[in-house]
Every structure is written in structure tokens, then in C-alpha cells.
């Protein structure tokens, strides 16, 4: 099988991440068969970006086989899909959130963003584990 340079890079990433022999990872190999799940999808995307390949975790998660994943790479390895647009909250909500924290926190505030229930659960877990970042969840 002939692989482009970017495809060879992705093949190497998959082989190194899974610890499998190179011949065990072919274009027809299903990603789940080599242990690539949603958590690994994040790792694959991060390693790909480090190698200059513009994939995001959802690209990996949407792919069922190695070939599906490789087909998302074009000749120069750029990402074919546009990244999700940032969700902007109405300014009164942003202002209310900003005004609910101290001035020193306001200066350090990067942005105010909506979160899903799953994200709220993660943040609560991190808080219980002594996370080192500050945050505030406002349900209004």
C-alpha cells in the first residue's frame, strides 16, 4: 500500500500510541480494534497537531477505520473542516458574570463561556480533587 507522507506520520502516531506492530495497523483496521476510543481520540488529535497535522478529536471519533481517518488528510495535511465557531453569550450575561467576581479575578478572567451538564460535572469533580484553577458556575 502506498501512503502519503502525512498518512505515514499518522500511521506512526497510531502505532506508537497503541504499542502495536506497524503491520497490525492497516488502512482497513478499525480504530476500536486497536484500542482507539474517545479518550484516545483526544490523544491522537494532540499528537497529530504536534506533528503538524490539523486533526481534531471529533475527526478521530467520527472515523471507524484507519482509512477513514487518513482520508480526512489532504495533500498538505491541513484540516478540511472548519472548527466550531465560538459561542458568544449575550453581553448582559457576560457583564453579570464578570461583576460577580473580585476585581483581581476580573483582571485574570479570560472569557465567560456556557458549559454543558457534563462539563459542570467535570468541573465539580476537579474542585473536589483540589483543582488549582478558579471558576464559578452561575446557573442563571
The predicted-structure confidence for 44-81, as pLDDT tens digits, reads as follows 988 888 888 888 888 888 899 988 888 877 543 444 44
Is pLDDT at 5 greater than 80 in this prediction?
yes
Domain of 39 in residue numbering reads as: 5-73
The model's pTM: 0.54
Number of domains in the chain: 2
Measured CA to CA in angstroms, residue 32 lies from 39, 79, 82 at distances of 12, 23, 25
| Cβ contacts of 76 within 8 Å, gap of 6 or more | 6
* Per-residue confidence band for 4, with pLDDT thresholds at 50, 70 and 90: confident
Q: Evaluate whether residue 135 is within a structural domain.
A: no
Domain boundary among 73, 101, 116: 73
- Tell whether 122 and 63 lie within a shared domain: no
- Tell whether 18 and 58 lie within a shared domain: yes
Summarize pLDDT for 72-127 with one digit per residue, the tens: 775 434 444 444 455 677 888 888 888 888 888 888 777 777 777 777 777 777 77
- Tell whether 15 and 65 lie within a shared domain: yes
Instruction: From 67, 59, 68, select the one nearest 40 (Cα to Cα).
Output: 59
Residue 102, sorted as left (phi over 0), alpha (psi -120 to 50) or beta, turns out to be: beta
* Per-residue confidence band for 137, with pLDDT thresholds at 50, 70 and 90: low
Is pLDDT at 14 greater than 50 in this prediction?
yes
Mean pLDDT of 19-40: 90
- Tell whether 102 and 48 lie within a shared domain: no
- Tell whether 68 and 97 lie within a shared domain: no
| Separation between Cα atoms, residue 3 and residue 10, nearest integer Å | 10
CATH number, domain with residue 67: 1.10.1200.10
- Tell whether 11 and 51 lie within a shared domain: yes
| Separation between Cα atoms, residue 14 and residue 77, nearest integer Å | 16
Amino acid at each position: 500500500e502506498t501512503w502519503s507522507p502525512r498518512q505515514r506520520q499518522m500511521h506512526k502516531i497510531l502505532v506508537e500510541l497503541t504499542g502495536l506492530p506497524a503491520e497490525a495497523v492497516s488502512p482497513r483496521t478499525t480504530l476500536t480494534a486497536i484500542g482507539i476510543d474517545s479518550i484516545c481520540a483526544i490523544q491522537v488529535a494532540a499528537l497529530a497537531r504536534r506533528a503538524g497535522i490539523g486533526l481534531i478529536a471529533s475527526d478521530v471519533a467520527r472515523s471507524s477505520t484507519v482509512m477513514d481517518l487518513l482520508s480526512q488528510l489532504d495533500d498538505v495535511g491541513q484540516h478540511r473542516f472548519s472548527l466550531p465557531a465560538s459561542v458568544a453569550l449575550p453581553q448582559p450575561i457576560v457583564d453579570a458574570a464578570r461583576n460577580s467576581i473580585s476585581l483581581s479575578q476580573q483582571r485574570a478572567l479570560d472569557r465567560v463561556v456556557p458549559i454543558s451538564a457534563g462539563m459542570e460535572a467535570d468541573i465539580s469533580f476537579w474542585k473536589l480533587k483540589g483543582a488549582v484553577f478558579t471558576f464559578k458556575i452561575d446557573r442563571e
